[in-house]
Amino acid sequence: MEAELSRSVAQREWRWRTDNPGESDGSVLLVGPYPPPLGGVSVYVRSLAEALREHGWRVIVADHFSGGSQDDDLVAAGLKRNPLRYLLVLPRLRADVLHYHHSHFGALIATVASLRLHKRKVSVITLHGEGLVRLLVDRRRALRGLSTMMLRRFDCVIAVNAEIAETVKLALPSADVRVLPAYIPSIEKPEASEVTRAFLSKSGPCLVVSAYKVSFNAGQAKDDYGLDVAVDTFIDLATTEESLRLAVFIANSPASRSEIDYLQALEGRIGSACLENRFAVFIAEPLTPAFHLANCVYLRPTRTEGDSVSVREALDAGAPVIASDIVARPEAVKTVKIGEQRAWSGAVSSAIADDRRESTTGADQARRDSSVQPIIDLYEDLADTKARSGGRS
């Protein structure tokens, strides 16, 4: 494995220097999920990597999972959520900044352990959701202590929303905590498969809902992504909105028996309402084209949330967005309480009746630059601060 890794790193280093002569603003190792699959965090990590490289940074990516696309020269290694690979691989990927994107507690521990093996100028962690935040206030003292100890190893904690930042500051009053939404707009035109295009391009309004995976807790009867809310809303409105359709995008194929059973139960409810011809599920298909192809209303009825990339993509495309009110949303989003089904149906009905998409020209380079510049400023400020203090955190 070490010989394979050395070749991989050397090839990427050579490619970067060949493609970017004279550019050496800094170097960053991004440790996080990377497409495929196309989840919100992985899409953000890829966008961040590309935007940093546009600004002259040398970028290396260590994927939490298998290693992304084989054709992507940004990805140096797939860590496969194997703690040993974190310890062996990360110290060999030399960079000024290590920016870890949290998704799994075991990966966090392994990443922090790797920092001791190779001292970085700067280490940053982004908390994209509530997973680690809940551990900071867990009733088990040992788990709280371990979680706070892990966060202390980083020079800065980036929270994707104010709620996460507030909890971190309560647990770690001395921590450097910044709030930065996890979104970098793309200026590329999204492409859809023929099957997706055929369904989305039909006339009439289309409800669109997305999930990273089928996430259903049978004990709590809790669907984290709110697919049940979307199905109920669709069935409720379909009799009066005769051309209404529902498109469900799921990044990861259902794997467990319970996930498959739950998705089939949702499909069964739609079939019982005789609406199966107006309904489609797309597995591992890109979501973004839906906002451009369809006369869509995007639903985000999540019961847990960090910062949703998909919400901001839909807004950029001019699509109306209706989301749960569990976190602060962008100003243009209509928010609804998760348990108020009538309110969901009413909000969608109003959006359809309004029949207007906000005029938009899409993202431009200036807006893309302004979204990545705070990250670059953060890296540079932290490096300057540590240099002045003699390398002490």
CATH at residue 346: 3.40.50.2000
Residue 132 lies inside a defined structural domain of this protein = yes
- Statement to judge: residues 272 and 384 lie in one domain: no
What domain count does the chain have? Answer: 2
For residue 293, the enclosing domain spans 194-354
pLDDT averaged over every residue in the chain: 87
pLDDT tens across 47-57, in order? Answer: 999 999 999 99
Distance CA 50, CA 126 (A): 17
Specify the residue for token string 């890296």. Answer: 379
SS3 327: coil
pLDDT tens across 116-132, in order? Answer: 887 778 999 999 988 89
Distance CA 140, CA 143 (A): 6
- Statement to judge: residues 204 and 154 lie in one domain: no
- Statement to judge: residues 156 and 202 lie in one domain: no
Q: Which of 47, 53, 6 is nearest to 28 (CA)?
A: 53
- Does residue 67 have a pLDDT over 90? no
Confidence of residue 234 (pLDDT cuts 50, 70, 90): very high
Distance CA 257, CA 252 (A): 14
Q: Dihedral, CA atoms, 90, 91, 96, 97, nearest 10 degrees?
A: 40
- Statement to judge: residues 383 and 331 lie in one domain: no
Residue 264 lies inside a defined structural domain of this protein = yes
pLDDT (average), residues 221-240: 92
**Backbone φ, ψ for residue 205 (5° rounding):** -75, 155
- Does residue 258 have a pLDDT over 90? no
Which neighbouring-strand residues pair with 38?
Answer: none
Residue 360 lies inside a defined structural domain of this protein = no
- Statement to judge: residues 165 and 198 lie in one domain: no
pLDDT (average), residues 22-31: 77
Buried-state track 269-306, b at ≥16 Cβ within 10 A, e below 16: ebeebebeebbbbbeebbbbbbbbbbbbbbbbbbbbbb
- Statement to judge: residues 201 and 343 lie in one domain: yes
**Backbone φ, ψ for residue 97 (5° rounding):** -125, 135
- Statement to judge: residues 143 and 215 lie in one domain: no
pLDDT (average), residues 366-375: 92
- Statement to judge: residues 176 and 260 lie in one domain: no
* pLDDT at res. 221: 60
Residue 166 lies inside a defined structural domain of this protein = yes
Q: Report whether the peptide linkage leading into residue 91 is cis, meaning its omega lies within 30 degrees of zero.
A: no
Which neighbouring-strand residues pair with 58?
Answer: 27
Q: Dihedral, CA atoms, 132, 134, 137, 139, nearest 10 degrees?
A: -110
- Does residue 253 have a pLDDT over 50? yes
pLDDT tens across 291-323, in order? Answer: 887 789 999 999 988 888 899 999 988 899 999
Confidence of residue 114 (pLDDT cuts 50, 70, 90): very high
Residue 362 lies inside a defined structural domain of this protein = no
pTM (predicted TM-score): 0.85
Residue 359 lies inside a defined structural domain of this protein = no
Q: Could you please report the per-residue DSSP string of 144-182?
A: HHHHHHHHHTSSEEEESSHHHHHHHHHH-TTS-EEE--S
- Does residue 177 have a pLDDT over 60? yes
* pLDDT at res. 8: 54
- Statement to judge: residues 216 and 157 lie in one domain: no
- Statement to judge: residues 206 and 173 lie in one domain: no
- Statement to judge: residues 311 and 250 lie in one domain: yes
The lowest-confidence range among 35-49, 161-175, 348-362 is 348-362
* pLDDT at res. 18: 37
